[in-house]
Structure 1
Amino acid sequence: MAFVWSKKSLVVAFMALSALTLPVKAQEQTFQIGTSSIGELKYKPGFKRFDYVNPDAPKGGTLNLSTTGTFDTFNPLLSKGELADGSPLVFETLTKSADDELLASYGLLAEGVSYPADFSSATFRLRAEAKWADGQPVTPEDVIFSLDKAKELNPLLSNYYKHVAKAEKTGDRDVTFTFDEKGNKELPNILGQLTILPKHWWEGMGADGKPRDIGKTTLEAPMGSGPYKIAAFTAGSTVRYELRDDYWGKDLNVNVGQNNFRNITYTFFGDRDVEFEAFRAGNVDYRQENQASRWATAYDFPAVKDGRVIREEVPNALRSVGIMQALTPNTRRDQFKDPRVREALNYAFDFEDLNKNLAYNAFKRIDSYFWGTELAASGLPQGRELEILQGMKDQVPPEVFTTPYTNPVAGDPQKLRDNLKTAIGLFKEAGYELKGNRMVNSKTGQPMSFEILLSNSSFERSVMPFANNLKKIGIEARLRTVDASQYTNRVRSFDYDMIWSIWGETMNPGNEQMDYWGSQAATQQGSRNYAGISNPAIDALIKMIIFAPNRDEQVAAIKAMDRVLLANHYVVPLFYSNNSRLAHWDRMAHPAELPEYSIGFPEVWWSKDAK
């Protein structure tokens, strides 16, 4: 989806494009206003606005938001440093997603896109009116600069745009991307999600009188083309964004009824409990609650009871997202290389007890890398999916063909004891034995122990029971919670035994799968192959997904890959909810119907204080 990582980052499409075109001369290329992965685009050329917005939403007021952690850079490109929240308010992409369609996007900086039938290239035509905040036009040179620097400086984006061989100016407002392989249908769309930066600004002189360096972090407020600018900040603590009166795209059809708050301020907290107290006190306007027990027990303060704080549970944002949230062992470490060891760890995780006693039965156990979507594998493979797996039979675990994946079930002392016995048996098969009260490697005598690295203390209450269960079978699992900067640096350099991970999947998985599970990404610091997966069968399946000639073939390959990932036990699946839990003070409002596939926050919300 995309990207520096954001709400719409990495949103990719299968590109079954409708024949909706912009008026062009007969001898020119045919440019389309948007792309859609499922049928025709909902909106036609000349549309006035998205249906889910309030076109009369007032502009004004202040939105106070909170986040945990800190920040030390405004450079949106790099994979180093802690980027300040709110970056998408300043910068823009070539296209913009429609939140009431699955995988559909329309022109933002670009007014259209054109490409040949074999998908060997794609040309974007920039809008003549698109301007940077200093009034200079957005140019093909800016787009080329943004792609080149993204591939050079960010491992995630390097993988994402790996098959884009070059970008070149092919007209006053045209930039053409040439691909190194034909048939990759998603490349035109994910190029539309590329964050575009002003070349002249980044190659100019900074406020300190020295040349800027896009390869370094910076706390100089950057210039963008987006609706907001950074008006003020306190390093690591707060950032205030202010709506630009001179924003070039404020009347654009894809922006009508959006960007309504005059000021948006982010305050950074080091502790989630302190952050919640700031919300209770009214110093923060909006909160998305991710702790089920807090949602069930802590929202009983007066402002909730008298209606000044509104609570909502909505499924919208999760309708098109597959989730894998898991404890992820680092298979680069010797103790996690054997899949039987990794499987044994899952038998020590008692989801049922945790869900009942800590989460008030608010969660469901994840059993797929595409959980919650039609892409999740279930039962035994059949049809084309089975044919694909049979073609690599010697490279995948045999249980892929014989045993549907299921997580162990506990929830009472006897079931947990049985699961722990199974775990001991798996460790024995992998060359371990219990000596006294320690699980040790039979050959080396090395005890089985590892550290679980966490980014926030709120995770400890979910992980501690897992560590206690492991202790019962002689395994020491140490919990270590570190600050945001240290956590980010350690994860980027793969300096951990086990971490808490989450991957979000769109309904059109594609190039990002290389970054998630591909062998090349396993050794590429900064990638999201947190588990260190290096598996030829998975590499082959990723390629099948990316170059699938049609949707049926793509879905079959996705489900086949899901099965192979699960059967190798690369993670200990955790849990998730099908609804987003929102709480906000009544100082703000949103359309009566939120967009089908998004909360629309803060884009389509507005302040009641605005006139």
Structure 2
Amino acid sequence: MIRNRAAALALCAFAGPGMADVTISHGYAVFGDLKYGPDFTHFDYANPDAPQGGTMAQRQLYGTPTFNSMNIFIIKGDPASEISHHVYDSLMARAYDEPDALYGLIAETIEYPDDLSYVTFNMRPEARFHDDEPITAQDVIFTINALKTDGHPYYRNLLADVTEMTAETDHRVRIALAPGAGNAFIGSLAQLAILPAHFYDNVPFDDTWMDTPIGSGPYLVETVDAPRSITFCKDPDYWAADLPVNAGRNNFECYAYEYFVDDTVGLEAFAAGEYAMRVEYRSSSWATGYNFPAAQSGWVKQIMIPDAQPGNAYGIWINMRKPALQDARVRLALQYAFNFEWTNETLFYQTYDQSDSFFENTDMQAEGIPEGAELALLEEFRDQLPPEIFTQPAFVPYAGGPNPRDRSGLREASRLLDEAGWIAGDDGMRRNAAGEVLTLRLPDDSRGLERVIVPFIENLKSIGIDAEFEFLDPSTMSERRQTYDFDLNAAAWQVSVTPGADLRAFYGAAAAAAEGSNNLSGIADPVVDALIERATEAETREDLVITIRALDRVLRSKNIWISGWTLAAHRVAIWDIFGMPDRPAPYDFNRGVDFWWFDQGKYDALVAAGALEDKF
């Protein structure tokens, strides 16, 4: 019987002894059915009649506050991250009102058997790169080979389950998958940016460069002023402009990004109308920074946009590659030295909740004592897990108290350090039996978190740790992070709504050993690896949720980070010149902005009032 994922474009069963049934469809849902049928014209959250034109001018989206490369797929350099957002198309496009569904973009249809031993993408013959070269099956094969061999460790870990690729025709590519690759992995493959193989005849894939990249997406790189700004403008010949997945999308003529090393300067530039939209990451700025005239006049608005995705796993990651930090008691002591309650009250205006899970804001977060199917899963690993996993609720970090020097927390931190053999001497410094001082360095390239980090550093010093916050230039910080030359590193990771193979990059043993990976803690644990593989093999959403809860519980027991803070929404400040859909996409804010548009009437009114210069 053919596996039916909603209204498929075509369904064919290849009969024969021992042969799996094959689904052919216009879309792919990791679990359950598709919301949109083969004849859909646009996503429900899109406005297909949205006005066209204008510029979306904003601060850099994410990543480092500078860039020196246009190659976003490798570990070297600091790339302009926004390139991936605008320049490249993928085989399929996410629907952001479904948790795990994709619909045809470069690929018109997708084929896969019930046993998921392979996936075939039937590509649109009309698909073109920016230089009018056709996108072929060979480009897909080149892309996966290049990413798997020379790409960033994230891609190398993600693509480990690709075993063989075949170009059956110029526009049909078959990808064989390792046993247990899982439903979610097919979705990950479908979302890879497809690269033009011919472009890399003259440009090295595995090195940094500032050449203008060629992709097949809706925008072209218009201007580059590294490391200060980058602008993308519409490709007038964009091949996929009229596809249903793009209806009501890509409405701005241009996207312009300004990079700021000092975010205080960035906010001042926004207040002066130098750019028109910013995601606000600092609670203090959100609470007190928008008292400038344009905001008081109502020309600038502050809006909260909910996000149904897993919350950022924000925290200070503890590098267990360092000998002193391999002791779980030392790592737990550091958690007790961080005072979330005081930080939230004094610095964050009580706007955050404390993170206690790596899967915040979802039903995948572990709660209480394990029971039912989660308990049964953990029982398989009982001899490799601490007994408290089974008898105590999932670990919840110490919250702290109302005073910056929370004595209860610092006393417990001191007790744990004593127990671990780090004893305070006459000079107050903690040393081990070999006489080595417990020394911790936390480097960063932004002063945005300095007000949070410095009180934490002072707490560490107060209990005898030689702790220091190091402010570095972005390129030095990038190199230090790639080589794990830090003891502590403040960072935020966000996994997908349907996590699977991507988890290897953050918590897998292979990533721990790879230079420049996202596994900042260096965790390399067989139970964690086994649970990640179980997640990739989950056949139902229920199975996935149970497995991720178990994984969350185990990760939390390892004390691999000093948990930070979380907010299930985005703080966004805009000059009031944009239109937005009535029903925004719930599962991806950054892509959701792709469905905004420029409101010429609002803009003209602000220009006429002298609030803005006529430059957007």
Measure how far apart 1:225 and its partner are. Answer: 0.7
* Alignment match, 2:509: 519
Closer, same or farther in 2 for the Cα pair 1:183/1:225, shift >3 Å? Answer: closer
> 2:444 matched to which residue of 1?
454
| 322 and 292 in structure 1: CA distance in 2 versus 1, 3 angstrom threshold | closer
CA distance in 2, matches of 1:118, 1:583: 47
Letter in 2 for 1:381: P
Q: Deviations over 1:181-212 (max 9, x none)?
A: 14622222111011101111221xxxxxxx32
How far apart are the structure 2 equivalents of 1:439 and 1:337? 20
Q: Which residue of 1 aligns with 2:281?
A: 290
Measure the CA separation in 2 of the matches of 1:296 and 1:283.
Answer: 21
Q: Partner residue of 1:145?
A: 142
Amino acid at match of 2:586: E
Determine if the alignment matches structure 1 residue 18 to structure 2 residue 5.
Answer: yes
- Counting only pairs closer than 5 Å after superposition, residues 63-212 of structure 1 correspond to structure 2 as 63-67=56-60, 69-87=65-83, 88-154=85-151, 155-182=153-180, 184-203=182-201, 211-212=202-203
Asked if structure 1 preserves the Cα contact closer than 8 Å seen for 2:337 and 2:410, the reply is yes
Say what the alpha-carbon RMSD is for the aligned residues. 1.9
Question: Does the CA contact (< 8 Å) of 2:165 and 2:173 recur in 1?
Answer: yes
- For normalisation by structure 1, the TM-score amounts to 0.93
Relative to structure 2, which stretch is displaced further, 488-497 or 118-127? 488-497
CA contact (8 A) 1:432 1:439 kept: no
SS of 2:449's equivalent?
Answer: helix
Matching of residue 573 in structure 1 with residue 563 in structure 2: yes
* More divergent stretch after superposition (503-512 vs 338-347): 503-512
* Distance in 2 separating the partners of 1:217 and 1:412: 48
1:565 shift after superposition:
1.0
Matched residues in 2 for 1:173 and 1:60: separation?
33
For 1:299 and 1:490, the matched residues in 2 are separated by 35
Matched residue, 1:333: 322
Taking the aligned partners of 1:396 and 1:258, their CA distance within structure 2 comes to 48
1:255-404 residue pairs with structure 2 within 5 A? 255-315=246-306, 318-404=307-393
2:551 equivalent to 1:561: yes
Per-residue deviation, 1:413: 4.4
SS at structure 2 position matched to 1:583: strand
Which whole-Å CA distance do the structure 2 matches of 1:166 and 1:277 have between them?
A: 52
Give the unaligned 5+ runs of structure 2. Answer: 16-21, 605-616
- C-alpha spacing 1:461/1:126, structure 2 compared with 1 (3 Å): same
Query: Equivalent residue for 1:217?
Result: 208
Q: What pairs up with 1:40-55 in 2 under 5 angstroms? A: 40-55=33-48
Aligned AA for 2:131? D
Range with greater deviation from structure 2 (248-257 or 30-39): 30-39
Distance 1:26 1:413 in 2: 67
2:426 is matched with which residue? 436
Segment drifting more, 527-536 vs 63-72: 63-72
Deviates more, 1:177-186 or 1:88-97: 177-186
Amino acid at match of 1:398: P
Q: 1:56 aligns with which of 26, 49, 54?
A: 49
Letter in 2 for 1:273: T
More deviation, 282-291/30-39? 30-39
Deviation at 1:488, TM superposition (A): 1.8
Tell me the distance in 2 between the aligned counterparts of 1:545 and 1:30: 23
After superposing on structure 2, the runs of 4+ consecutive aligned residues of structure 1 that deviate more than 4 Å are 23-30
Identity value in percent: 35
Name the structure 2 match of 1:7: none
Q: Give the TM-score normalised by structure 2.
A: 0.92
**Whole-angstrom CA distance in 2 between matches of 1:442 and 1:586:** 59
- Quick one: which of 412, 420, 435 aligns to 2:410? 420
Distance 1:225 1:414 in 2: 52
Query: Match of 2:366, SS?
Result: coil
Q: After superposition, what is the alpha-carbon deviation per residue over 1:145-184, rounded to whole angstroms, capped at 9, x for unaligned?
A: 0000001112210100101012110123110110121462
Question: How far apart, in 2, do the equivalents of 1:298 and 1:437 lie?
Answer: 43
Q: Which amino acid aligns with 1:390?
A: E
Query: Counterpart in 1 of 2:613?
Result: none
Aligned to 1:5: none
In the other structure, the counterpart of 1:480 is 470
Contact 1:118 1:183 (C-alpha < 8 Å) held by counterparts: no
Residues 77-100 of structure 1 deviation map (CA, whole Å, 9 limit, x = unaligned) = 212111113212111111111111
Residue type matched to 2:596 in 1? Answer: W
Counterpart residue type for residue 357 of structure 1: T
Matched AA of 1:330:
N
- Distance of aligned partners of 1:413 and 1:302 in 2 relative to their CA distance in 1, 3 Å threshold: closer
Does the C-alpha gap of structure 1 residues 357 and 587 become closer, same or farther in structure 2, counting only changes over 3 Å? same
CA contact (8 A) 1:17 1:39 kept: no
Q: 1:496 aligns with which of 471, 486, 492?
A: 486
Aligned-partner SS, 1:125 = strand
Contact 1:69-1:483 at 8 Å conserved across structures? no
How far residue 442 of structure 1 moved from its aligned partner, in angstroms, is 3.6
Count residues with an aligned counterpart.
587
- Residue 473 of structure 1 aligns to which amino acid in structure 2? I
Stretches of structure 1 that go unaligned for 5 or more consecutive residues are: 1-15, 204-210
Residue 383 of structure 1 aligns with an amino acid whose one-letter code is G
Distance 1:197 1:560 in 2: 37
Specify the alignment match of 1:11 in structure 2: none
In structure 1, what is the Cα distance between the partners aligned to 2:352 and 2:519?
25
- The AA in structure 1 aligned to 2:208 is T
Letter of the 2:184 partner, please give it: E
Change (3 A) 1:578 1:414: closer
Q: Secondary structure at the match of 2:113?
A: coil
Q: CA deviation at 1:608?
A: 1.7
Aligned partners of 2:339 and 2:404 also within 8 Å: no
